[in-house]
Amino acid sequence: MERSHADIEQAIQRTLKENTARAILKLTEIFGSIFSRDQFLEALEISGFNVDDTAAYLQDRLPSEKKEANESKTKPEDQIDLILQESSLNIVNTENTVEGPKTGNLALEFSLSPIYINSEVPVFYIVDEILKEIFSFFSAGERARLSSVCKTWKMIDQTTGYLYKRDCHDLWVKTSRPQGNIFFYPFNNDIELWGEEYPKNYTDSPEFCKSFKNWRNMWVKRPKIRFHGVYISRIAYFRQGQVNLDNLPSYHKVVFYRYLRFYSDFSVCCINTVKKPREYVRLVDKSNAECRLGEWGRSGNRVVMHLLAKNEIFTYQLDLKSSPGYYFDLLKLVKVQSRSAHNQEYSDLNINNDAWPKWFKFLPIR
Amino acid sequence: MSEITLVSKEGTKIQISSQFSNLSGFIHNILQDYQQNEDISLASVSFINLQMILEYAVHHNFQVPQPPRCPITSPNIADNVSDPWDAEFVNRLNEDQIIDLVTATNFLDMKSLMDLCLAKIACMFKYKDIETLRKEYGITEEFTAEIEEKLKSDFPWAMEAESND
């Protein structure tokens, strides 16, 4: 009788261990991708699971190779690793699962509440009102991007249309009608530089603005100059050099870049350099000694830009164009005029050769 | 300059200058009909949060500080606030504590500190692509492939933002 008692007790112990192991396996499946490993172990300990026992149980059932490989290491941590690895077979990358993402804390908060365990609902526990406040810290582009994360965020983006008003204001109201002449030298007033129609013709008509119906639409479709990056053009052409020793003509390949950066205070800087964009875009700034300063204005799709050279002024006319999927990220060079600082006469420059840029492409700076 | 007594969720009492009403709308309203030596109980603010709020209030001398830059321009909170102390203050909290603090400040109607915490959370989202966000915050794929395609075709500029700011 005593012997059978002991048998039953053993059987019960084994069943318990089995159950615990199964429970841990199940929990790992659910939480493996959310918790980091340490957090998971801590949670197990708190809820009274005997991790060591389970590990021993599992180790008995593991393939012999693994057992041999791990016999030398007897630390409980390694055994736990085994459990986690064993249980996360259905998750592709085992290493990632064991390590866990570093910041999963926000998600934890919800997954701990019973509704969210093992459910397909997004696990984001911030009240919508607060989420709206968080969204107000983002620019329009960033918000649009976040809205495709999940349905809740999409809803938040759709209900925060008033934020687009702020963004539109930043882009256009401040910048549609330059007041005063920041480009003071060598002219004293706006009319000398811009002509008499200025600034009336350099702002969008109220009818045009109303045609956008809502702020969001306006932010997307109204022509705009972007301020958070640089417009770049790459210019490459062959130049004939001196006749060489064999009495044959030689050619040089000339490659340089032209960088344009616009500012919301209607100044613009332009740099010609041979340096490549990857290393140079961050240096394009008004404080750069090589840059040529100027002033810009926009009417509709047309951007007019006056650049100051040593003794003359170059007037560029550029068109805002869109590439597929983007809005107004290209500038097409239409016309260039020059005039000396002393007389008011314009002379057109021939831009139909390779030495002039045709297109400028926008590149954002982070 | 009078002092008021705040009582946290756990029942701990804290003395604070009544100038605190500059920062908190909740306290401001309560002080309209406040009896001397009356305790103000804050049912949803824990002692730890209350301590942090007081630390913040004392540092800013009970005056509303300059709000963080909006929209934020960098994923580093220190670039978006004018006072470096503010950045240190939120940087030493983890996500759970920040959410906790937001709930507390929301209850107290403390716009300045709440904005600081929210800006910090916004900084965590900044410049991260959609997949990373979903993975980090345990958000499961909600949109079917068709809807996602439609989203992309309806709002190409939403995807454009991945390369822009």
Q: Top-level CATH class of B3-139?
A: alpha beta
Domain ranges of chain B: 3-139
- Range in A106-110, A149-153, A200-204 the model is least confident about: A106-110
Residues of A with CB below 8 A from B138's CB?
Answer: 33-34, 104, 107, 111, 123
Which of A107, A121, A364 is opposite residue B137, by nearest beta carbon? A107
* Residue at A280 is within a domain: yes
Strand partners of residue B6: B14, B40
Q: Quick one: A336 and A255 in the same domain?
A: yes
Q: What is the pLDDT of residue A3?
A: 63
* Residue at A122 is within a domain: no
Say which residues have a Cβ less than 8 Å from residue A14's Cβ, sequence separation at least 6. A57
pLDDT in tens, A332-360: 998 888 887 677 677 888 888 878 888 89
- Range in A85-94, B14-23, B83-92 the model is least confident about: A85-94
A160 contacts chain B (CB < 8 A): no
Peptide bond into A101 cis (omega under 30): no
Query: Does pLDDT of A65 surpass 50?
Result: no
Q: Quick one: A335 and A187 in the same domain?
A: yes
- Range in A80-84, B3-7, B56-60 the model is least confident about: A80-84
Q: Quick one: A8 and A88 in the same domain?
A: yes
Distance CA B108, CA B92 (A): 22
- Are A305 and A282 a contacting pair, CB within 8 Å? no
Distance CA A195, CA A249 (A): 47
pLDDT in tens, B42-55: 887 888 888 889 89
Q: What is the pLDDT of residue A204?
A: 77
Q: What is the pLDDT of residue A106?
A: 43
User: A106, B118: Cβ pair inside 8 Å?
Assistant: no
Q: Which domain holds residue A44?
A: 2-111
**Structural domain count of chain A:** 3
* Residue at A119 is within a domain: no
A142 contacts chain B (CB < 8 A): yes
Residues of B with CB below 8 A from A141's CB?
Answer: 157-158, 160-161, 164-165
Q: Quick one: A189 and A74 in the same domain?
A: no
Q: Quick one: A147 and A186 in the same domain?
A: no
- Phi/psi-derived region of residue A287, left when phi > 0, alpha when psi is between -120 and 50, beta in every other case: alpha
* Residue at A296 is within a domain: yes
pLDDT in tens, A250-284: 888 888 899 999 888 788 889 988 888 888 888 88
Torsional sign, CA B8, B13, B14, B16: positive
Q: Quick one: A190 and A334 in the same domain?
A: yes
- Those of residues 79-138 in A touching chain B at CB distance below 8 A are 101, 103-109, 111, 120-126, 130, 133-138
Peptide bond into A76 cis (omega under 30): no
User: A138, B72: Cβ pair inside 8 Å?
Assistant: yes
Q: For residue B35, what pLDDT band results from cuts at 50, 70 and 90?
A: confident
What radius of gyration, in Å, describes the C-alpha atoms of chain A? 34
* Residue at A312 is within a domain: yes
Residues of A with CB below 8 A from B106's CB?
Answer: 130
Q: For residue B28, what pLDDT band results from cuts at 50, 70 and 90?
A: confident
Query: Does pLDDT of B1 surpass 60?
Result: no
pLDDT over 90 percentage in chain A: 2
Q: Quick one: A207 and A329 in the same domain?
A: yes
Of residues A85, A79, A84, the one with CA closest to residue A57: A79
Q: For residue B69, what pLDDT band results from cuts at 50, 70 and 90?
A: confident
User: A103, B72: Cβ pair inside 8 Å?
Assistant: no
Query: Does pLDDT of B27 surpass 50?
Result: yes
Which of B96, B133, B157 is opposite residue A149, by nearest beta carbon? B133
* Residue at A73 is within a domain: yes
Q: What is the pLDDT of residue A186?
A: 57
Q: What is the pLDDT of residue A185?
A: 58
pTM of full prediction above 0.80: no
- Are A363 and A281 a contacting pair, CB within 8 Å? yes
Which of A124, A229, A329 is opposite residue B137, by nearest beta carbon? A124
Q: For residue A60, what pLDDT band results from cuts at 50, 70 and 90?
A: low
By C-alpha distance, the chain B residue nearest A125 is B99
* Residue at A351 is within a domain: yes
In total, the C-beta contacts within 8 angstroms joining chain A to chain B are: 126
Q: Quick one: A184 and A209 in the same domain?
A: yes
- Range in A39-53, A147-161, A203-217, A278-292 the model is least confident about: A39-53
**How far is CA A179 from each of CA A174, A200, A299, rounded to the nearest angstrom?**
10, 11, 15
Q: What is the pLDDT of residue A279?
A: 83
Q: Quick one: A180 and A270 in the same domain?
A: yes
* Residue at A239 is within a domain: yes
Cα angle: A62, vertex A64, A69; to 5 degrees: 95
Distance CA A172, CA A208 (A): 13
Distance CA B73, CA A287 (A): 20
Mean per-residue pLDDT over chain B, rounded: 81
Residues of B with CB below 8 A from A329's CB?
Answer: 160
- Range in A311-315, B128-132, B158-162 the model is least confident about: B158-162
